[in-house]
Chains A and B, each alone.
Chain A
Amino acid sequence: MLSLVCPSWYDSRTAARESLTGEAIGIARILPIGGHLMVVVRVDGLRKEFTRRTRTPGLRGLLRSYVSPRHETVVALDGIDFEMDDGESLALIGPNGAGKSTTIKTLTGILHPTSGSATVLGLVPWKERTRLSLNIATVFGQRSQLWFHLPAGETFDLLAHIYEIPRAEYQARKTALVERFELGPLLGTAVRKLSLGQRMRCEIAASLLHRPRVLFLDEPTIGLDVIAKQKIRELVSELNRNEGVSVLLTSHDAGDIERLCKRVIVINHGTIVLNDRVSTLKRRYLRRKVIGLRLSDADVTLPAIEHTTLLSRSRFGAKLEVDTDRVAVPAVMATLGRLPIADITIEDPPMEEIIAEIYAARSEERGRVDD
């Protein structure tokens, strides 16, 4: 059985070309489980509106708001549609307020949508939330499920009871996760004494104890340093590959998406702007990296590097933009490595810029079609 599900932006000519060249982005996917195509997440015309109270600033505005309160409707999701297959890793990216977290919160049953439908593992999340929660896991980068005053190991034991994991199965799973996530020395330490990176490793391991089928990660690397981010990405990627756990990830960080996901949905103002392979996104829109340098010596002369533009310069710092289509970042780093560097950062262009480029490319395409 072959199912071809195309979002509106995906025109038939592109589909035909990509199918012929073997580039079809997984929009046509055949995953027979029990003879059925297994879509673990199905979202159809999902819309979520919030009503919030508004008032003009100052005391007068405050008093007026009591007499005649004013409300405004915010559209967080404006009828989005997408699907995610079993074992897939899908990224949901976009700027602040785009609707990423609202999507995750709706798919995990926390929020009730205003209209539209969605299923996760065949269950309607907001109607069968508790049943669904036994089969999925959610990690919010800015929240904690671990008990603050208890050692992480004790929260693991507690979660084993909450998720109704048989004792022997839990012990084996815990041992495997502790080893893989290198949690041995951390398990006996009160969570409040762990670093953010250590805590996040514990959070993700805790969420995997019950072998979830779908893992929702909402900004899992927010606030982490480069090493901790890399570790989390490796672990999640391995989990997706080895255990077949479907991963739906939201992030501001293009690095998370590049390393973790095969497909990406770019969302902005509650609508889907792009639904494509990560490789396509990289090829078309992530063609630049910004390298930030902090130098240990003042007034060092920076060497000229081909296809690299100096964006800004101060006595101890510099910002360079690398055209990654023409030169590889490691090659640039090799040249920069000869300088007296105190600190170095590599960043992707901000989401806002990527989205602006997507809009620009789409209106250009539309213009060509109209001509």
Chain B
Amino acid sequence: MTSPDLKELGGPFALLKKVLVISRATLASQFAYVGEQVVRTTFLVLILYIFTQLWNATDRFQDVREATGFSIPQLIWYLAFTESIIMSAAGIRGTSVDHDVRTGDLAYRLTKPIPYPCFQFGSDLGTRVFRFFLNLAVGIGVSLAVVGPIPLAPLAVLAAISLTLLVFVVDWIWVFSISVLSFWIEDTFGIHLLYRRLLMLLGGMLLPLEAYPDWLRSVCERLPFAYMVYHPSRLFVLDRPDGFLHAVGVVLILGIVGLIPALLLYRLGLRQVSAQGG
């Protein structure tokens, strides 16, 4: 018989509120080490400077705008945006789910009145949003210093940021699917590494897809990775939000497709928990 005076959980809005509160707390905890976070962005400064030199050198032999459809300042601003997306992930794994499973911290998280994936999602999203905007601020500063301003369309920028936030949600779902494999395999680092590298190379992190050879471009356009990196970054430097709705639709489908294995693996994985001993 169930105890008559049990407290009951709130509905979906209560759950959403919990996720947002967790995100806010993670965001706050990121400020504890804001100095370290800024130091991390030095890589961004370096890579933007190097690429400016490379594009300038290339431009002497071939017209960059003609080859890529983007001016050199646009390419640098594009790179600042793609790097902000990639570097905002917390390490190669992008989440601490693997760590929680391996160390047994999962046990504590499971005993809270919020489903573990929701807790982790809130926590990872807070970190990622903080890092993204910090990287973007630094990236814009460096871009202004090395190539000067480019004309930005407020609507396109808004579309780029909105799509990026949606991408973070979908990327988290895919990363979570990989992480829950740690219920069965010792270390998922290799799979995470492969996923991140595919995002970088086939997603158009260093160059927009227009700069790729035709055959590679057509391959990349058919793969999901470009929707996670290239499309939001392209929107950022364009003067109008072309292709925004199409990209949102594809990213949503990617999210739904990723959600099925993520939840299935998680439910199966919970039965595998073997937290023997202390």
Chain B residues in 8 Å Cβ range of A97 = 276-277
Q: Say yes or no for A346: interface residue by CB 8 A criterion.
A: no
How many B residues touch A, CB cutoff 8 Å? 38
Interface centre among B4, B21, B275, by most chain A C-beta atoms within 10 angstroms, is B275
Interface check A149, CB cutoff 8 A? yes
- Kindly list chain A residues whose C-beta atoms are within 8 Å of the C-beta of B214: none
Which residues of A135-150 have CB atoms within 8 Å of chain B's CB atoms? 135-136, 138, 140-145, 147-150
Docked complex Cα distance between A101 and B106 (Å):
14
Cα-based distance from A101 to B104 in the complex (angstroms): 12
Interface presence of B9 (CB below 8 A): yes
The interface residues of chain B lying within 8 Å CB-to-CB of A368 are: none
Contact partners of B277 in chain A: CB under 8 A: 96-97, 101-102
Interface residues of A in 30-74 (CB under 8 A from B): 33-34, 36, 38, 40, 50-52, 74
Interface of B is mostly: loop
The minimal Cβ–Cβ distance linking A93 to chain B, given in whole angstroms, is 13
Segment of A20-28, A160-168, A237-245, A277-285 engaged in the interface with chain B? A160-168
Partner of B112 from A122, A162, A222 at Cβ < 8 Å: A162
**Interface contact B112-A133, CB-CB below 8 Å:** yes
CB contacts (< 8 Å) of A108 on chain B: these are: 110-111
Q: Which chain A residues border B106 with CB–CB below 8 Å?
A: 110
Is A150 a contact partner of B2 (Cβ separation < 8 A)?
no
Highest count of chain B CB atoms <10 Å: which of A36, A96, A135, A222: A135
Q: Which of B259-278 contact A (CB under 8 A)?
A: 270-271, 273-278
Asked if A91 lies at the interface with its beta carbon under 8 angstroms from chain B, I say no
- Residues of B within 8 Å of A121, CB to CB, are 2-3, 6
Interface status of A154 (Cβ within 8 A of chain B): yes
Interface size on A, residues (CB 8 A): 54
Among A50, A110, A134, A150, contact of B29 (Cβ-Cβ < 8 Å): A150
- Residue of B29, B107, B114, B115 most packed against chain A (CB within 10 A): B107
Q: Beta-carbon contacts of B92-123 to A below 8 Å, as 1s and 0s?
A: 00000000000011111011111100000000
Query: Scoring A residues 228 to 265 as 1 if CB is less than 8 Å from chain B, else 0, what string do you get?
Result: 00000000000000000000000000000000000000
CB 8 Å contact bits of A171-201 with B (1 = contact, 0 = none): 0000000000000000000100000000000
Q: Residues of B contacting A190 with CB < 8 Å? A: 32
Shortest distance between the CB of A154 and any CB in chain B (Å): 7
B9 with A131: CB separation less than 8 A:
yes
For B108, the chain A residues whose CB sits under 8 A away are 138, 140, 143-145
Cβ of A154 and Cβ of B25 under 8 Å apart?
yes
Given the known inter-chain contacts A101-B278, A140-B107, A164-B113, please indicate yes or no for A150 contacting B7, CB distance below 8 A. Answer: no
- Bound-complex Cα distance A213 to B278 (A): 23
**Contact of A40 with B3 in the complex, beta carbons under 8 Å:** yes
Q: Does B22 contact A (CB under 8 A)?
A: yes
Closest-by-CB residue of B relative to A86 is: B3
Q: Within the assembled complex, what's the spacing in Å between the Cα atoms of A96 and B277?
A: 7
Which chain B residues lie closer than 8 Å to A102 at the CB level?
275-277
Q: Kindly list the 5 A-B residue pairs having the minimum CB-CB distance in the complex, ordered from nearest.
A: A122-B2, A149-B32, A121-B3, A149-B29, A134-B113
Binding site for B on A (CB under 8 A): 33-34, 36, 38, 40, 50-52, 74, 76, 96-97, 101-102, 105, 108-112, 121-123, 129-131, 133-136, 138, 140-145, 147-150, 154-155, 158, 161-164, 190, 210, 213, 218-219, 222
Which chain B residues have a beta carbon within 8 Å of chain A's beta carbons? 1-4, 6-10, 14, 17-18, 21-22, 25, 28-29, 32-33, 104-108, 110-115, 270-271, 273-278
